[in-house]
């Protein structure tokens, strides 16, 4: 809940990137074998990150409260988020894998 996602370089046992968030990170999901991962946050936003550059490549909005869960569809084309606000959202992410 320190407003950060830290991507580690396991080969060298050191942080590769620190990805800053406006509020605490509540969950994350990796996009198949791609270099992208998604984070869900207290601010109700879902962010897609490039794990090799540490850059936020897309921010998805629509929730009014904290994200509780993230999951990718079986074909990896969609990301589903569930929020404390009682809603679920579906975001297209096909272009990122």
pLDDT in tens, 62-96: 999 999 999 999 999 999 999 999 999 999 999 98
In a domain, 60, yes or no: yes
In a domain, 44, yes or no: yes
The domain in which residue 80 lies consists of: 25-96
Q: Could you read off the pLDDT of 38-51 as tens digits, one per residue?
A: 999 999 999 999 99
The CATH code of the domain that includes 49 is: 2.40.10
pTM of the model: 0.90
In a domain, 7, yes or no: no
- Could you tell me which of 62, 50, 70, 55 has the C-alpha nearest to residue 87? 62
Q: How confident is the model at residue 34 (pLDDT cuts 50, 70, 90)?
A: confident
| Domain count within the chain | 1
- Looking at residue 82, what is its pLDDT? 98
In a domain, 1, yes or no: no
- Could you tell me which of 71, 63, 66, 60 has the C-alpha nearest to residue 28? 71
């Amino acid at each position: 809940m320190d407003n950060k996602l830290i991507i580690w370089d396991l080969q060298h046992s050191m942080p590769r990137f620190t990805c800053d968030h406006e509020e605490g990170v509540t969950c994350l999901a990796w996009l198949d074998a791609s270099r992208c991962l998604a984070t869900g946050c207290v601010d109700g936003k879902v962010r897609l990150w490039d794990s090799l550059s540490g850059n936020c490549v897309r921010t998805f909005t629509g929730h009014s409260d904290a994200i509780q869960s993230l999951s990718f569809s079986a074909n990896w084309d969609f990301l589903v988020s569930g929020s404390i606000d009682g809603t679920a959202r579906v975001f297209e992410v096909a272009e990122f894998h």
